[in-house]
Amino acid sequence: MLKRAIQGVLIGLLAAGAAVALWQPGWLDAWENATWAWRAMYFAGSSPAADSIRLIFLDEKSLDWAMRENRLGWPWPRELYAPILSFCRRAGAKAVAFDVLYTEPSFWGVEDDAALGAAIAETPGFVGTCSLGEETGNTNVWPAHIRKPALKIGGIGGWLATADTRPIHHARALFPIPDVATNAALLANVQVPPDRDGIYRRAPVLDVFDGQVVPSLALALRLAAEPATPVSIEPGWFRVGKTAVPIDRSGRAILRYRGRPEVYRAVSAAAVIQSELRIQQADQAAPVLQPDFFKDCYVLFGCTALGLFDYKPTPVGGAYPGVVIHATMLDNLLWKEFLRDVPGWAALALAAGLAVLGGVLVRCSRAAWQSALAFVLLAPVPFLLGFAAYSRGFWLPVAMPGVALGLALVGGLVVDYATEGRQRRFIRGAFGQYLSSAVIEELVRHPERLKLGGQRRALTIYFSDIEGFTTISERMTPEDLTALLNDYLSAMTDIIQEEGGTVDKFEGDAIVAFWNAPLDVPDHALRAVRAALRCQAKLGELRLGFRVRAGRDLFMRIGLNTGHAVVGNMGSASRFDYTVLGDAANLASRLEGINKQFGTYILISEATKDALGGAFPAREVSRVAVVGRRDPVRVFEPMTQPDFDARERDLAVFADGLKLYYDGRFEDARTTFERIMETDRAAAAYFRQCRTLRADQPREWNGVWVMTQK
């Protein structure tokens, strides 16, 4: 077992190494991202969205309203945005941001730009937008006429020098027109780069252009509402006031999506404009929105009309308005609920631990169901841990530990199949025909027992033979004889194996079996005798059918003996049999033959009877001296309790006759046996023997019946 456990550890470590090798170049990203989507969608509605975030959508309704009421197509005159800003000021919004890039002068003329600029100037906390990128943009330096964001970020210099900030350093930029740039409280970068597969899972909290730090739209809204909020950055963390935002080495934070875009309260731009115009004109009609709808709220304006193409794929939806991604980041800032990457060493330790556990469990499994159970129990573990980590605010990699575990489980099976699995298949194939399943499984667990050689053990040994089989075989065709033998041997073998016995061999119609090897069977004598009685009963059930096929009744003689013998693998190194040798086996064989002398069908030795402990009644049949043995042996005929009860009177007469026989009173014994000889074949045998002994009285008598043949 220790050897297999060590192999499992090595398999697990190799599997973990292979998984890391696949993980590092990003080959497992597709699987990881798919599992991330499952986690993000599952937990999307687990906590509410911030009610202080309100959205204004330039949607299809707004475009239709402008065309229907004012004959205005797209793009709108920029002065049309002034009522939106006016309504936000009137309501008392904390900060306002338009997710719109005003990089070109208005189609409607300079007065139109001036009107927008004036409205922005009157709106406290307005955040203007720029676009930082690598290839697109109209400048590679900060324009002199645009005020730089007055951000004081603690630790920014040291962090920029130590972190891998290449992704947030941008070579080119698109800035808004001066009317927007000079009147906005802050400028923010609205470009959020997606992950390599195009999905928006992370967002930078800040970017850098021409040496100047530019906040993200979400951060700019927070700072525009609370300009005095201290901001600092350090490896792994970005701090805004008391909010600590976990970031990776490139300054990006993992977004915790709340669900569908509808989780944030949103209104159409047309509704805001109509409400403001009715208030300004003192229209008796009630405004569409309550005047305090944006009170103490962060307001984000964005485009959701399909023709304006501002939809992004996210883990919780394939068509997500871009402005809602900024709202999600702001939401995470306000609720302090950004997600955090699990440290790389922890992910590696998890992968190695799961892989080693999987490898050890599979290598130490001794049955197919155990390996299958290991698969069933371990396969979900990486996913369950991933979900549990998400609930605690962590992104725990799932694909890499999952692949490591899968490789370890499969690797363990492959090694098992190539080594011990092949050995187990050999054992089951070689011994399945004559060993019980329990014995085979013991050999599978301890294959070292199959080494050439044997051990001395106390066994109960079984020999059986069909009475008159030679005559039967001469009357039958080989095909019919083979079929008959197969049916007979199968029925007997099933009973022997059910009783925990080991079938040693078949020799024609003869069966050799034993108990208490290779498995320990403490009650081996009891099981062997019970098997013998069951075999006789089974043959009785089959006798009528066998008579039709064989032309005569089939009877079986069985001899059982308990004693020490050598049991093990005997033969050559390449071909051997698991068999039994020794005097105890020879005696069992002799007892089977002695049945012929007494007309019995089961005989057991005194050692077997003593080992029964009274479990079955047995009558003493004789004291015999068998060929090859110097000391006589007492032999007994076991029977079931109902059979004993039915024959109790005859058995008592037999016992009386046997005592007289042992005492040498042959005439009295003959007379006693004569009373039951018609129904008891053993009594008939003694009747004949007493008649012979009375005619030729032995000089010395010890009551032993000497056998002259095997």
CA-CA distance, 537 to 554, in Å (whole number)?
12
Residues 6+ apart with CB under 8 A from 438: 500, 519
User: Is the Cβ–Cβ distance between 322 and 131 less than 8 Å?
Assistant: no
Q: What is the torsional sign of CA 388, 391, 394, 400?
A: positive
Lowest pLDDT segment from 34-43, 309-318, 645-654, 685-694: 309-318
Give the model confidence (pLDDT) of 456-478 as tens digits.
899 999 999 999 998 899 889 99
Tell me whether strands 618-625 and 95-98 are parallel, antiparallel or unpaired: unpaired
State the pLDDT confidence band at 367, using cuts at 50, 70 and 90.
confident
Mean pLDDT for 379-404 is 95
pLDDT value at 19 more than 90: yes
CA-CA distance, 609 to 562, in Å (whole number)?
9
**What percentage of the chain has pLDDT greater than the value 70?**
94
State the pLDDT confidence band at 447, using cuts at 50, 70 and 90.
low
Instruction: Output 111 or 695, whichever has higher pLDDT.
Output: 111
Give the model confidence (pLDDT) of 677-689 as tens digits.
999 999 999 999 9
Q: Please, what's the largest Cα pairwise distance for the chain?
A: 152
**Whole-prediction pTM value?**
0.66
Q: Which two tokens stand for residue 620?
A: 């003493």
Mean pLDDT for 174-202 is 94
**What percentage of the chain has pLDDT greater than the value 90?**
71
CA-CA distance, 520 to 639, in Å (whole number)?
25
* Three-state secondary-structure class, residue 628: coil
Kindly tell me the burial class for residue 322, based on how many C-beta atoms sit within 10 Å of its own C-beta (0-12, 13-18, 19 or more). Answer: buried
State the pLDDT confidence band at 135, using cuts at 50, 70 and 90.
confident
pLDDT of residue 428: 64
* Three-state secondary-structure class, residue 172: strand
Lowest pLDDT segment from 53-67, 108-122, 283-297, 438-452: 438-452
Q: Which two tokens stand for residue 588?
A: 């069992």
Q: Which two tokens stand for residue 562?
A: 């308990």
Q: What one-character DSSP code corresponds to residue 149?
A: P
Mean pLDDT for 604-618 is 95
Closest CA to 514 of 616, 527, 444: 527
Give the model confidence (pLDDT) of 21-30 as tens digits.
999 999 999 9
Cis peptide before 75 (omega within 30 of 0): yes
pLDDT of residue 318: 83
pLDDT of residue 1: 72
Lowest pLDDT segment from 275-284, 384-393, 591-600: 275-284
Q: What is the enclosing helix (H) or strand (E) of 565?
A: strand 556-571
pLDDT of residue 572: 60
Give the model confidence (pLDDT) of 272-328 as tens digits.
999 999 988 877 677 789 989 999 999 999 999 887 878 999 999 888 999 999 999
* Three-state secondary-structure class, residue 333: helix
User: Is the Cβ–Cβ distance between 673 and 654 less than 8 Å?
Assistant: yes
CA-CA distance, 436 to 89, in Å (whole number)?
89
* 666-674 vs 681-695: helix crossing angle, rounded to 10: 150
Q: At CA 458, angle to CA 454 and CA 464, rounded to 5? A: 90
Residues 6+ apart with CB under 8 A from 585: 461, 512, 514, 561, 565
Q: What one-character DSSP code corresponds to residue 553?
A: -
User: Is the Cβ–Cβ distance between 397 and 23 less than 8 Å?
Assistant: yes
Mean pLDDT of the chain: 90
Place of tokens 């043995």: 629
CA-CA distance, 84 to 89, in Å (whole number)?
9
pLDDT value at 335 more than 90: no
User: Is the Cβ–Cβ distance between 225 and 297 less than 8 Å?
Assistant: no
pLDDT value at 85 more than 60: yes
| End-to-end Cα, the chain, rounded Å | 48
Q: Which two tokens stand for residue 596?
A: 């012929």
pLDDT of residue 448: 59
pLDDT value at 70 more than 60: yes
pLDDT of residue 627: 77
pLDDT of residue 337: 84
Give the model confidence (pLDDT) of 499-554 as tens digits.
999 998 999 999 999 999 888 899 999 999 999 999 999 999 999 999 999 999 99
pLDDT of residue 260: 86
